[in-house]
Structure formats: C-alpha cells, structure tokens
A and B are shown apart, each in its own frame.
Chain A
Amino acid sequence: MTTLQEMRPVSDADDPRTPRGRAPRQRGSSFGGGGPLVYGLALAVVALTLGPVVYGALGGFRSNEQLIRDPAGLPDPWVTGNYERVVTNPDFWGYALNSTVIAVITTAIAVIAGVMAAYPLARYQFRLREPLFMVFVLGLLFPVAVAIIPLFILITRDLGLGNTWWGVALPQAAFALPTTVVILRPFLMALPRELEEAAFIDGASRIGVFRHIALPLVAPGLVTVGVLAFVASWNAYLLPLLLLQDDMRTLPLGVADYSTQYSADTAGVLAFTTIAMIPALVLFLAMQRRIVSGLQGAVKG
C-alpha cells in the first residue's frame, strides 16, 4: 500500500554521493557543467536557505538595541553575553538532557522492537505473515495528531507517566515502529538464505541465527532507522507539549516557551534558538549519508 511499494534497502551503491556512471564526460560541455546563470541561481538558493539560520546566529551576537536600530546590520560590536547567558542557564542544559534521554530511549525501543518484529516477517513462512505486515503498514497512516488527546489521558491518568521521560518515549517509539519495520524488512529479506542454512547445519537455533548472523548483517539498516527515529524524537513538539511541563521540558518546548516568555529579548531568543539548532545540525552532518539514503531509499521507485 501507499508509499511502501517504493521501499527497498539502500546499499552504499545507492548512496547519492556515488552516482552510478560517473564516467568522465568528454570536455565539460554545457550539458553537465554550469554557466554563470546556474551559479547565480545556486548562490541565490544558498542565500535563501541559509539566510534565516545565519540571521539567527548573527542576531545572537548583537544587542537588542542593535537589532531594533538596524534589523539587517551585522554585529557591531560583537556581543557574546546572549550566548553566555544561554550556556550558563541550567534550564537549557536540563532541556538538552531531557531531549537526549527521550531520544535515546525512543530510538533504542523502536530499533530493538522493530528489528525483532521485522525478522519473522522477513524470514519465516507462516499464514499470518502478510496480514501481520499490513498491520505495520497501516500504522503509517495514523498520525500522532489523531491519537493525541486519548494518548494524553492514557499516559497521564491511566499509566501515571505524565511529565516523565518514559511517558514521551514509549508512544514515540510506538509511532516510529511502522517506519522501522517497513524499512528493515527488505533488508532482512535480502540476506542470502545459504548463510542461515549453514548456521542451522552447525546447530545454531533461530534466535542464535538472528543475533549472530542477521543482526550484524543488517547493521547499516539499523543505523538508518535509528537515525530517523532519533531525529524525529529530537524534533518532536506535539506530544512533549501535552505531556511535559517545567523542568521536564525538551529543547523544542524550551525554545518555544522562551521565545514567548521573553519576547522582548529578541537577541536572547535568537541566541537560545541558535544553540538549540547545533545538536541537530551536528548529528545531520555526521550522519548525512545515512539520513539521506534512508529517505531516498524510502521513495525511490
């Protein structure tokens, strides 16, 4: 159903940075190269894309008075006080800790439960196999927004997990599971049957094969779904908004609340926001290949 028809494992051969057929072209003809127009357009795109981010970063180095006097100016003089205040603010570190712990728990649960579920769906033959897989596929169609109010009631009242790390991580992991299973299953299906058979002949059990043969071989897939789950949790807003208060808040909540609470302190808000961007950007740069190939793999026909 839906997008899943397009899903398939992404090997390094599919990596966007190693396009197939990088055969040298005869003389950089106008066909593949870039003229001034192309470079001009590229520059405009860079400016529009990075503009807001750079504005935020530079704005954090200005004073409010500078920002009001000339919104488009550069820092003059450079003020480091805004950033210092954010970095020395214990609240900020509290939010960062909450974001990290929740993202780690979410990722761990989603990846472990996901690969476990994907394994029999890929390697066993049984009657309910496809119907069971459809359960996960259908799960993709349920947005968190649909379930948010009952989730709020379930977690705060029935489970008593309101305002806790687990209260956010468990439902987030549950909502990450469909994607995880759907991406991992083809990875597992692609494993050569001979490997398993050899292990069985050597007396390995199914679970042993899963742990010692299948898991290491699908490690790249695990990293991809792990990064996707981590980033989704790190950026999540709606669920934390309803479930977390005060010092349990995550970074997105902290940023949003800070910006409404201290709306007059534009420079402070910009500094706070800029610092809050850094972890996601660093993670992205470090994991770029994985994120990109995961997303592309999800859509390629």
Chain B
Amino acid sequence: MTSTGAAVAATPAAAPTGGASEDDGARHPSVPGAPPGSSRWRQRLEIALFVTPALTLMAMFVVWPVVSAVRMSFFRWKGFGPMDDFVGLRNYEQVLTDTVFRDAVVHNLTIVGLSIAVQLPLGLLLAVLLNRRIRGRGLLRTIVFVPYVLAEVIAGVVWFQLLQPRSGLIEEILTTVGITPPDQGFLGTPDLALWTVFVVLTWKYLGLAVLLFLAGLQGVPDELYEAAQLDGASWWQTQRSVALPLLGPTIRTWAFLSMIGSLQLFDMVWILTGGGPANATTTMATYLVSQGTQRGNYGIAGAASVVLFVVAFVMALLYQVLVLRRDTADQR
C-alpha cells in the first residue's frame, strides 16, 4: 500500500459498501473481517467499545471547547456570572476592526510567506548537500535536527539571552564585524522584531524541512542519477532536473505543515517579545490569549478564535484544492 489516501479511496472498491458487508457478515460467518458466529449487533457493540474512549475524549476536549468558543463569540462576557449579554456579531466587528488584530493576521501571513520563501530554498540546499556521500553524514543529520526537538520555550529563552541588547552574544559579534546593532536591541525595535522572531523560527524549524526533503531525495532511484550522469549531466543539473521534480509531493506537504504551524504561532512570540514592542509581533494566538486571560474579554477572545480557525481552515482547503490535489491525482 502506498498511502492512507490510496487506502481510503481503495476501500469501497476492495470491499462491498458498508451496509452490504454488514449483512454478509451476519449471514455468512466465513466472510473475512468478521469472526465466525458474530452477529451484526455483536459487531456494532465491539466497534462502539473500541471507539468510545477516543470519541469521548475528542468530544469533551476538542469539539465541546471549539463549540463553546463559537458560542462565546456572540456574547459579551467577562468570565463570571451567566453568559446572557447577547451581542450578535459585535465581537466580530470589534475584532475585525481592531488594528492590533489586523496586524496580527498580517504578522501570521508574513511568517507563512517568509517561511516558504526562505526555508524552502535553504532546506533544499542543505538536503541536497547532506544527500552526498560525505563523511559524518549521519552525525550531521542528527545535529541539523537538534533544534527541532527542543521545546520552543527553551529555544526561545536561549535566543532571548543571545539577543540581549548590549550584553548579548549576537550584538557582540555584529559589533566586531562592524555592524551597529539597533539601540533597543533586535527584539526591542518594532521594525526588526518580527524579522528577528522569524530568524529564530527558521533556526528552530529548518531541521524538519531538511529531514523531510532528505527522505524525499532518498526515494529517488539511483538509476535515475546514473542515467543522468551517463548523459553527461553535471551534479547541479542532475539535482535540478532529476531530483527536484520528484521531490514535489514532499515539498508541497512540508509547505502545508509549515503554513498551519505559522498560523498557530504562539510559544516563540510569547517568550521572545510577548507580542511587543508596540504590538509589532502579535499573532492571532497571542492576541486571543491576552484578550481572554489577561483582560477577561472572553467574547472577544472567542471571536478571535473563530477567525483564527476560519483563516486556517480556508487556507488549508484552498491549499488542498489548488496544490495537494495534484499529488492525489498523480498517485492514481
């Protein structure tokens, strides 16, 4: 089997439709997929038994909170007393006209765009390099992946120290090279803060891209390289014309993961800047957390959650329709 997608799609063809097979299972106990003597009811009971714990957890801690967020978004509610001050869409109006939130959306989208524009070429370059038969390749691969394993918080605290104005190592290095760091430090200057956060995020997540691309490159059959080599292609030509096109599905899936991650960005920003300076690095997630927990504007937080979800969902859907569908079609 090649993928879940294929498996999912193949199921109806491989087996008769669900209803029919249930009946078959009851009448002919020897049909694969049902133990002898098991009745329809017994099978249903077993399924229920197997699925209940997971569904209960999901219902309680995923579905219910999301539904409450939607409900909350229609009320003015400070977190105590009954939720009865229905305000219709006013919370949405307030969130969508709040320049802080609008900026937050822009920041999220900037990180989405930058990640793909910067981490994709960088990741590809490193993956192609690491795919060569160089000494210490295994060790190199482990090292590249180290930042990804660290908690965002821990990486953030170390970088916060590195980026300290005046006393931090980064400014020290830049000063020796002859670059004057900004007075307020990189994280304290509104024009630079978001870029600085992005640099740290790239440090943290580039390893994942490299790793996934490497896996993709290893799926390229050696014969293809050899054929290209025989035809007189140079190493770079081979990478560009043979390996890269075959990496397509891996790249597209990585970009999707990266996009979803960037839209949910919270930890790193909270640690490095807390959304500041002057809201220069707020994201949708930091906005809704500070509205909800620090200011007690639960209705506003609810509306912001819903907007975050809608943005993520629409982008995921668009991506699925416009980009990933090609892969699914390819697999057929």
Q: Does B5 contact A (CB under 8 A)?
A: yes
Task: Encode contact with A along B1-43: 1 for CB under 8 Å, 0 otherwise.
Answer: 1111111100100011111011001000000111110100001
Q: Number of B residues whose C-beta is below 8 Å from A?
A: 135
Partner of B159, one of A19, A52, A237, A277: A52
Q: Does B184 contact A (CB under 8 A)?
A: no
Are B33's CB and A116's CB within 8 A?
no
Are B144's CB and A45's CB within 8 A?
yes
Q: Does A160 contact B (CB under 8 A)?
A: no
Most chain A CB inside 10 Å of its own CB: which residue of B1, B19, B47, B126: B47
Are B66's CB and A237's CB within 8 A?
no
Task: Encode contact with A along B127-151: 1 for CB under 8 Å, 0 otherwise.
Answer: 0011011111010111111110111
A288 and B22 CA atoms in complex are apart in Å by 42
Within the complex, what minimum Cβ distance (angstroms) separates B32 from chain A? 5
Q: Does A151 contact B (CB under 8 A)?
A: yes
Are B173's CB and A72's CB within 8 A?
yes
Are B212's CB and A117's CB within 8 A?
no
A42 partner residues in chain B, CB cutoff 8 A: 129-130, 134, 136, 140
A129 partner residues in chain B, CB cutoff 8 A: 11, 18
Are B249's CB and A49's CB within 8 A?
no
Pick from A76-84, A85-93, A186-194, A217-225 the stretch touching chain B: A186-194
Task: Encode contact with A along B200-244: 1 for CB under 8 Å, 0 otherwise.
Answer: 000100011001101110110110010001000001001000000
A98 and B183 CA atoms in complex are apart in Å by 40
Are B50's CB and A145's CB within 8 A?
no
A67 partner residues in chain B, CB cutoff 8 A: 167
| A171 nearest CB neighbor, chain B only | B61
A136 partner residues in chain B, CB cutoff 8 A: 54, 58
Q: Does B195 contact A (CB under 8 A)?
A: no
Pick from B85-93, B109-117, B301-309 the stretch touching chain A: B301-309
Chain A 137-156 residues near chain B, CB threshold 8 A: 139, 141-154
Are B235's CB and A205's CB within 8 A?
no
A139 partner residues in chain B, CB cutoff 8 A: 58, 62
| A16 nearest CB neighbor, chain B only | B215
B215 partner residues in chain A, CB cutoff 8 A: 16, 296, 299-300
Are B4's CB and A284's CB within 8 A?
no
B212 partner residues in chain A, CB cutoff 8 A: 295-296, 299
A231 and B229 CA atoms in complex are apart in Å by 42
A23 and B223 CA atoms in complex are apart in Å by 11
Partner of A150, one of B46, B68, B270: B68
| A42 nearest CB neighbor, chain B only | B140
Within the complex, what minimum Cβ distance (angstroms) separates B252 from chain A? 9
Within the complex, what minimum Cβ distance (angstroms) separates A180 from chain B? 9
| A201 nearest CB neighbor, chain B only | B36
Chain A 249-271 residues near chain B, CB threshold 8 A: 251-253, 255-256, 259, 266, 269-270
B154 partner residues in chain A, CB cutoff 8 A: 235, 252, 255, 273, 276-277, 280
A193 and B30 CA atoms in complex are apart in Å by 12
B58 partner residues in chain A, CB cutoff 8 A: 135-136, 139, 174, 177-178
Are A6's CB and B5's CB within 8 A?
yes
A127 and B43 CA atoms in complex are apart in Å by 12
Are B158's CB and A273's CB within 8 A?
yes
Most chain A CB inside 10 Å of its own CB: which residue of B46, B126, B135: B46
A277 partner residues in chain B, CB cutoff 8 A: 150, 154
| A70 nearest CB neighbor, chain B only | B172
Are B142's CB and A288's CB within 8 A?
yes
A228 and B252 CA atoms in complex are apart in Å by 22
Most chain B CB inside 10 Å of its own CB: which residue of A38, A55, A196: A55
Within the complex, what minimum Cβ distance (angstroms) separates A135 from chain B? 7
Within the complex, what minimum Cβ distance (angstroms) separates B143 from chain A? 5
A17 and B138 CA atoms in complex are apart in Å by 8
Task: Encode contact with B along A52-87: 1 for CB under 8 Å, 0 otherwise.
Answer: 110110010000000110011000000000000000
Partner of B235, one of A30, A72, A295: A30
Q: Does B101 contact A (CB under 8 A)?
A: no
Are B146's CB and A49's CB within 8 A?
yes
Are B292's CB and A142's CB within 8 A?
no
Q: Does B189 contact A (CB under 8 A)?
A: no
Are B203's CB and A48's CB within 8 A?
yes
Are A177's CB and B35's CB within 8 A?
no
Are A149's CB and B288's CB within 8 A?
yes
Are B152's CB and A235's CB within 8 A?
yes
B16 partner residues in chain A, CB cutoff 8 A: 125
A35 and B327 CA atoms in complex are apart in Å by 36
A299 and B211 CA atoms in complex are apart in Å by 11
Q: Does A120 contact B (CB under 8 A)?
A: yes
Are B57's CB and A174's CB within 8 A?
yes
Partner of B133, one of A25, A266, A270: A25
B99 partner residues in chain A, CB cutoff 8 A: none
Q: List 5 A-B contacts (CB under 8 A).
A: A112-B53, A149-B302, A189-B7, A209-B35, A301-B249
Sample of 12 more A-B contacts, CB < 8 Å, known A46-B143, A49-B146, A144-B264: A20-B219, A42-B129, A55-B169, A117-B50, A145-B284, A153-B79, A193-B33, A204-B35, A255-B153, A273-B154, A273-B157, A292-B145
Chain A residues with CB under 8 Å of chain B are 1-8, 16-17, 19-21, 23, 25, 28, 30-34, 38-39, 41-42, 45-46, 48-50, 52-53, 55-56, 59, 67-68, 71-72, 109, 112-114, 116-117, 119-121, 123-130, 132-133, 135-136, 139, 141-154, 170-171, 173-175, 177-178, 181-182, 185-186, 189-190, 193, 196-197, 200-201, 204-207, 209-210, 231, 234-238, 241-242, 251-253, 255-256, 259, 266, 269-270, 273, 276-277, 280-281, 283-285, 288, 291-292, 295-296, 299-301
User: Nearest 3 A-B pairs (CB), nearest first?
Assistant: A5-B5, A301-B249, A127-B18
